A and B are shown apart, each in its own frame.
Chain A
Amino acid sequence: MTIRTEPWRTTAGGERPLAVPRHWDLIGAPTGRLLMDLASAREALAAGRNSESAQISTRLLALLPGRRAAAVAAADADGTQQVDVIHACVLTVLGRAIEAAEPDQAQVRFAAAVAIFDRLVAGGAELKPAELVDHGTALARLDRLDEAFEAVVTALEALAAVPVDTIIRIVLTLRERHDLARAERLLQLAIDVEEDDPRLAQRLAETRLLDDRPEQAAAAYVRAGTHFGAGGQPGEALHCFEQAIGLSHDPVDAMMGRSFALADLAGPQVALEAIESVRDSHPELEVARAFQAQLLADLGRVEEALALLDSGLTMSPVDPVLMAARVRVLVTTGRRAEALDTVDEALVAWPGDVELRRLRARILRQSGRSAEALGVLQELLAEEVADLDDRVEMILTMVDLGRPVTALAETDHALLFTPDSADLLACRSMILLRLDRFRDALDAATRAVGLDHDHVMALSAQAQALLRLDRHDEARKPLGELLRLVPDSPEIRHTLGGLLLDGARYDDAEQLAVEGLRIHPGEPSLLLLQGKVRVLVGRFQDAVVVLERAERGLAKAGGPAAAVTDVQAHLGEALRRLGRDREALVHLDRALEAGPDNAFALGTKGQVLRASDKVEAERHLRRALELDSTLNWAHTELGELLRAEGRLAEALESYTAATDLAPQDAWAWGCRGATEYTLTRDDEAAASLARAIDLNDTYAWAWAVKGALLMDQDELADCLLALGRAVQLDPTIGWAWTIRGWAEELLGMREDARRSFRSALAAGGGGAWAEIGMADLLLQDGMPAQAEQRFRTILKAMSPRDALELAQAGWCHLRLDECRQAARNFGEALLLDDSMHSVRFDLALALLGTGPVERAVEAYEEAVTRLREVPSPGRRRAVLRIAAHDLPTVLTQPAYRETDQRSLTVLQRLLQPDGSAEPNGAGR
C-alpha cells in the first residue's frame, strides 16, 4: 500500500495534520475576510463611493457560491448559514450601490436578498443588527413596509445606524397611510442614533406639522436648521428657520438661527439687520449681543462692537459669552495681547469654560506661544471636551513646534474616528509635505478637497504637493480656487503667477499682479511677478522700474533672502537685456550674496560674463546647471560659449540638452543646427534648422545658416531662396549676403553677385570675403588694375591669424599672381585646419601657378583623394564645383598662361562632378 504524504504537512518529527481553521474554504481565505470585505463595501457606500462599493460587492458575490459549496460539503450548517447571511447582505449593498444607475438591476438584487433573508428567518436564524438593517432596507425597496418597519426598528433599538433614505422611504409611506405615530417613533429612534442628520429632524418637523403640533414642529425645524447650518448648508438652514418662525409664537431660537444663516448667505450687513430685530425683541439675549458685535467687527466697526460688548459686560461683568465675543473681536483686529488679557480675566471667573480656554489656546498660538497653546489644548482633550477643531488646532500647534511626526500620529489617530474630515485630511497633507512625502500629501489633499471643494488649507496643500511633484500645470487649478477663496493673498498670487509664466500666459500673470497690487500697493512679491512678466515679454525698461520698486520695498521691510535674491536676479537680467552689463553684475552679485546657490542668478551672471571673462562665464553657467539642470537657456548659453571656443562636441551636448528640455525653443534648435553644420553633420543640421524655422519662420539667422548648409551641399537654387529669406528678414546679416554672392557668382549671375557683395559690405558684416568677391568680379570683368588695387587694400588691412584668414590672404595673393606666397598661405591654412577641402584645391591651383605642373597635378590628385573622405556627396559636389569654376577663372593670369592643354585636360577630368571624387574613384 502506498501512503501518499503531503510534504508541507510533515515535520521533522513525522507526519502531523495541521490544525485547519473552522471556516477555512477551498480557496484558503477565512470567512472573517469576507466580513471585512463586506464592511469595506458598506463603508464605501456610506462615503458615497458607489462604484467602489459595487466593485467590492461584485467580487464578493463571485466568491460566495464556492464557499457555500465548501461549507455544505463539510456539512457545516453554521458556516452555510453565515455564508447565506453574507450573501444577502452583499446583494443589498450592491443593490444600493447601483440603484441610481441601474434601478431595475438593483430591484433584482434586493429581491434576491430578501429571498435569502426570508429563508434564513423562516429557518430560525437570528439576524444581527447590521444584518437587520440590510434586511429592512431590502424590504423597504420592495415596498414590504410593515416588515421593513419591524426590521429597522429592531435594528435602531440595537443602536445600529440605518441608511437615512431607508428611514425616509418608510416614514413617507407611513405618512401616506396617516400612521403618524409610527412615523414619529421611527424618526425619533433614528435621531437618537444619527442625531446630526438634519434630514431626519426636518421629516420629524413635517410629521409633527401633519399631526397639527406646530410648536413641536417648530422645535424640530430649529434643530434641523441648526444641523443644516453646521453642516455648511445655510440655504437649507434658512428655510428651516423661516418655517419655524412661521409656526412658533416666540421663535427666538429660529430668529437667531436665521441671522446666522443670513450671515453665511447674504453677508454681515443683512445678518446685522436680522440680529438687531432679534435684540429688539429680546434685549437680554447675550448670545445675540455677542453675534451682533461680531458682525459689527466683520463690517470694520470694531469700536462699536467693543462698545456693545462692554455695555453688556457692565451689566454682566463676567458673562462668558460676552467675554468670548470680546476676545474674538480683539483677535479679529489683531489686538492679541488685549485679547489674551480679556480671556485670562474671564477664566478667573470661569476657569472651566471650554470656549474661553479654546480661545486662549488660539491666541497663544497666534502669539507664537505654541508650547503653552499645546498645553491648553491637551487639557481639553484629556477632559474629553475638545471638538474636532480643537484637535486640528492641536495638530497644527505640534507642527508649529517642529514635531511633524507626532502631529502625523495624532492626525492619523483622529482620522480613525472621523475618516471623512476635510480638516484632518488637510492637516495630514500639510504634515506630509513637511516630511517630503509629496505623493502621500497629494493623496490626502485631494481627498480633503473632494470632501470640501473650498477648503483653503487642503487646496493649498494640494497645490504645494503638485508643485513639489513638478506637476505645475495641474497645480494651477487648486491655486486658482485658492485665489477665488482668498483673493487678497499676495503669496497665492505670486505662486499662481509663476505657474502662469511657466505656461507662457504672460497677460494672465500680469493681470494677476495688477489686481493684487490694487489690493496691496507696493507689495514686493507682486511687483516681482510683474517684473518677471515684463522681462519675459521684452519690456526691459518697464521691468527695471517695477523691480527697483520691489527692491526698495524689500529693503524697507527686510524681506526674506529668497525674495531679495529673486528680485536682484531679475533686475540683473533686465539690465543685461538692456545692455547695461556693469549694473547687471552689481545686482547679480547682490542676488548671489543673498542666495549663493540661486541657479537663475548664476546662469544670468554667466551670460553677462561671456563678454568679458569666458572662463568665469563657463564656471557660472556650469554651476547653475549643476543646481538646476532644467534651465534650458543656460544650456543654450553654455553651448554658445563652447561653440565660440570651437569646443563643438561639448557645445552640441549643451544644445541637445536645451532642445530636450524645451522642444519649442527655436533659438536652441537654431544654435544646435549651426553646430551640427559646423561639425558637418549635415542631415542632423538640416533637421534642426528646419525645426527652428518651423517654430519661428521669421528666424533670420536660422534661414541664413540653412542657406550656408545648402551652399555646401551644392543646392544652389535652394540656397539662394533660403538666403533671400534670411536677408529679407534681417538685411544686416552680412555673411548671408556674402554667401549669396558666391552662390550667384557660381551660377554666373555676376551682377546679382556684385549687388550681394555690396550689400554685405553695406551691412558691415561681410568681412574680407565680400571684399574679395568684389575684387574678383573686377578681375573677371577685365579690370585688372582696379582689381589689384582692391586686393592690395585687402591684404594691407589683413593680418592673418587663423586658417580662414590665411585662406583669404592666399586667395588675394593668387589673384595678384603671387602664387608662391599664395601656396604658402594655403599650406599654412591647411596646417591649422586639415579639413578645409576647398583650400586644398586652392593650394593645388597656386602650385599650378608656381610650377612644375607635375607637382600641381599631384596636389590636385591628393585633394581629390582627400575629398573622397567626405561622406556627403553634396559637399563633394560643391567643392568640386568651386574648384572647377576657379581653374578656368585664373587661366587668364600671367602665371598660368604657360599651362599646357594636356595638363588642363587632366585636371578638368579630375574635377568632374561625381567622377574622381567618388569614394570608389570611379572616375580615375
Chain B
Amino acid sequence: MPWSMLQGRVEALRLNLERARDLSVRELALDHVPLEEGVWDAAFDAIRSDSVSRLWELEQLSTGIDRSPHPLHQRVAWQKLAAIQEQSEDIFRECLELMGGLTFRERDLDNQICTFADELINECARSVGRMLTTIAIPAHNGGRHAGARHIAHVQFPEWDVWTLPLVTFEYGQVAITDRPEIDAFARKSAIDVHHGLGADQDVIEERIRALLSDAFATYTLGPAYACALMLLRLDFVAPDPDCREFVAQRVAMVRGILARIADGDVADLHDKLGKHWDQALHLVLGTDPGAADPLERLALDPATVFDTFNWFFLPQAAYAVDDWDTAVQWGSRWCKELRDPKLSPAVPAVAPINRLRDALNASWYARIHEPAWVTEGADVTRELCQQIIDIRGRTRRPPGVELPGAIRPDP
C-alpha cells in the first residue's frame, strides 16, 4: 500500500520533530553545568524554531496528500517528504550534539576543559560589553550555525589547554553579529567583495565573518589564539585549493592583527610564529602553491579590522602590551624552571586582575621557546587557570575602609 506507507513516514517524522521541539534542559537534570537560562534559550530556540517550521511544512504536505481537493501527485509528495526529512536531520543532529555534549560535561568526561572554555568566553563577552555568552560543549566538528546559536565547540579529542583558545573563534561570530556596527561592517565588506569578485554573496559573507572571527579572537586573546590556530588547527595541505587559500587568508588575518598588537616581545613572537608557518608551508608544498582559489582576492585589511574593533569594542577587550608582559614574565619563568633540572615549573602567584588569556599566552610563550612544554605545561596551565577562576571576584573592598585592630572587648 504505497499511499499509506507515505502517510506512515509523514507520521513518523512528525513524532520525531515534536520530540525535538519539546526538548527541555530539565530532562537533563544538570547539577554541575552552570547553564544560564538565556544561553540555553539562545542555543535551543533556533532548534525549536526549525522544528516548528518543519512541522508546519509536514502539516502542509499531509493536507496536500489526503485533504486537498487536488491531492498531490505521489512522486511529488515523496520528493517533498525527502526534502523535509533532509532538513530535519540537521535538527536531530544538533539536538543530539547539544544534549550529548551537556551530558558529557555533566559527567565531567571532558576533564573540565569546557568549564575553562566557558570562563574564557565569559571573560571575552564581559570585556566587549554586556553580551550573552556561549556554552561550550565537546564535539567532533562545529555545527554549521554553532556561533549564532551561542554554542562553542571544544574539539574531540583535543581536550587540553593548547586548543582552548580556539573556542574564542566561535564566540567571535556571536560578538560580531551582536555589535551592530561590526555586523554592518561585515555585511558591507561582503557586498564590496561581491561587487569585485562576482562570487556568491552568501559564501563571501560567510568567509568574511570567519575572517572577522579570527581577527576578533586574536584581538581579544592575543598570540595564544594565533599559535593554537596556526600550529594545531589549520590544515595547510588540504587537497582542496579553495580550502588552502582560505587557510592562507585566515593566517594573513591573524598575523595582521598580531602585527598591530605587535610591540617588543609580541613582535618577536609574531616573527617566530610566521617563520614556523612559512617553513612548514615550504617543506610540504615546495614552491607549488596549487591551483588558484576563485576567492583568492578576497581581501580584508587586518589594519582596518583592528581599527574598527578598536573603535567599537571597549578598550579592555583588546589584548595589549601590558598583558603580554605578564605572559612573558610567567612564560620565561617556566622556561627557566624547565631548563634547570633542580626546578620544576610552578604556578605563579595570581592577582584578581589576571585573566585566563594571561595563562594561555604564558603557556604558549613557553611552548614556542621550549617545545617540550606540552604535557607538563598543560597540567601547570590548567592549575593556573583554576587559580585565576578561584581568585576572581573573591575580594571586594570599599575604598579606604580597613579592618580595625584585632582588639577586644572594645575598641
Contact = CB atoms under 8 A, between A and B. Distances in A.
Contacts of A319: none
Interface string A627-659: 000000100110010011110100000000000
A667 B400 contact: no
B316 A674 contact: no
A646 B392 CA distance: 11
B352 A801 contact: yes
Given A665-B409, A801-B353, A833-B396, A827 B403 contact: no
B400 A767 contact: yes
B181 to A, nearest CB: 9
A803 B396 contact: yes
A670 B317 CA distance: 40
Interface stretch (B146-154, B197-205, B307-315): B307-315
Nearest to B318: A824
A633 B127 contact: no
A677 interface: yes
A765 B405 CA distance: 14
**Interface bracket on B:** 20 to 34
Contact of B392 (A643, A735, A830, A832): A832
Interface in A751-791: 765, 767, 769
A645 B395 contact: yes
Contacts of B311: 852, 855
Nearest to B406: A607
A699 B318 CA distance: 47
A705 B411 CA distance: 14
A800 interface: yes
Contacts of A832: 352-353, 392-393
Contacts of A678: 396-398, 401
Interface string B368-411: 00000000000000000000000011111111111110111111
A610 interface: yes
Contacts of B395: 645-646, 802
A449 interface: no
Given A666-B411, A735-B401, A802-B353, A828 B394 contact: no
Contact of A801 (B351, B392, B407): B351
A667 B404 contact: yes
Contact of B410 (A610, A667, A700, A739): A667
B410 A696 contact: yes
Contacts of B404: 640, 667, 670-671, 701
Given A637-B406, A667-B408, A823-B314, A738 B400 contact: yes
B339 interface: no
A633 B314 CA distance: 47
Given A735-B400, A828-B353, A636 B316 contact: no
A645 B411 CA distance: 22
A645 B353 contact: no
Nearest to A700: B411
Contact of B315 (A804, A820, A852): A820
Contacts of B231: none
Interface in A679-713: 696, 699-702, 704-705, 708
Contacts of B406: 607, 610, 637, 640
Contacts of A671: 404
Interface in B73-115: none
A806 B312 CA distance: 22
A831 B399 contact: no
B126 interface: yes
Contacts of A704: 401
Contacts of B312: 855
A812 to B, nearest CB: 14
Contacts of A577: 407
Given A670-B404, A701-B404, A735 B352 contact: no
A155 to B, nearest CB: 67
A641 to B, nearest CB: 9
Contacts of A708: 398-401
A469 B355 CA distance: 56
Contacts of A843: 314
A47 interface: no
A744 B124 CA distance: 40
A349 interface: no
A835 B397 CA distance: 11
A435 interface: no
Nearest to B123: A831
A667 B398 contact: no
A536 interface: yes
B139 interface: no
Nearest to B312: A855
Nearest to A671: B404
B210 interface: no
B410 A674 contact: no
B353 A735 contact: no
B315 A833 contact: no
Contact of B411 (A536, A646, A670, A821): A670
Contacts of B132: none
Contacts of A855: 311-312
Interface in A867-891: none
B33 interface: no
B320 interface: yes
B408 A800 contact: no
A767 B320 CA distance: 27
Contacts of B396: 646, 648, 678, 803, 833, 835
B398 A833 contact: no
A646 B403 CA distance: 12
Contacts of A821: 315
A7 B353 CA distance: 86
B400 to A, nearest CB: 3
A223 B27 CA distance: 98
A648 B393 CA distance: 12
A833 B393 contact: yes
Contacts of B315: 820-821, 823-824, 827, 850
Contact of A633 (B123, B352, B409): B409
A705 B409 contact: no
A767 B315 CA distance: 27
A522 B181 CA distance: 86
B119 to A, nearest CB: 12
A704 B402 CA distance: 10
Given A666-B410, A701-B411, A644 B353 contact: no
Interface in B233-277: none
B373 to A, nearest CB: 27
Contacts of A607: 406
Contact of B403 (A643, A767, A820): A643
B411 A802 contact: no
A667 B411 contact: yes
Contacts of B127: 827, 831
Contact of A806 (B126, B353, B401, B403): B353
A852 B400 CA distance: 34
A831 B126 contact: yes
Nearest to A695: B410
Interface string A388-400: 0000000000000
Contacts of B409: 536, 633, 665, 667
Contacts of A677: 398, 401
Contact of B408 (A633, A700, A735, A736): A633
B183 to A, nearest CB: 16
Nearest to A823: B315
Interface in A785-817: 800-806
B400 A831 contact: no
Given A607-B406, A667-B410, A708-B398, 4 more contacts: A677-B401, A805-B353, A823-B314, A827-B316
11 contacts: A633-B409, A640-B404, A643-B403, A674-B401, A678-B396, A678-B398, A699-B411, A701-B404, A704-B401, A708-B401, A832-B353
Interface of B: 123, 126-127, 311-312, 314-318, 320, 351-353, 355, 392-404, 406-411
User: 5 closest A-B pairs (Cβ-Cβ)?
Assistant: A827-B316, A735-B400, A801-B351, A824-B315, A646-B395
